[in-house]
Amino acid sequence: MSYTVRHATKSDLQHIMPIIDAARQFMVETGNPHQWADGYPAISDIDTDILNRHGYVVVDGQTIVAYFAFIPSPDPTYAIIYDGQWLCDSLPYHVIHRIASLPTHHGIFDTIINYCSAIDSNLRIDTHRDNHVMQHCILSHKFTYRGIVHIRGGAERLAYQRLDIS
Say if pTM beats, i.e. exceeds, 0.75.
Answer: yes
User: What pLDDT score does 166 carry?
Assistant: 61
User: What pLDDT score does 48 carry?
Assistant: 97
User: What pLDDT score does 84 carry?
Assistant: 95
User: What pLDDT score does 37 carry?
Assistant: 81
User: What pLDDT score does 155 carry?
Assistant: 84
DSSP notation for 66-134? EEEEEEESP-GGGSS-BSS--S-SSS--EEEEEEEE-TT--SHHHHHHHHHHHH-SEEEEEE-TT-HHH
User: What pLDDT score does 11 carry?
Assistant: 97
4-163 falls under which CATH superfamily?
Answer: Gcn5-related N-acetyltransferase (GNAT) (3.40.630.30)
Which residues does the chain have with pLDDT short of 70? 1, 166
CA 129 remoteness from chain centre: 15
User: What pLDDT score does 153 carry?
Assistant: 79
Domain ranges of the chain: 4-163
List, in order, residues 6 or more apart from 148 with CB less than 8 Å away.
81, 82, 83, 84, 156, 157, 158, 159
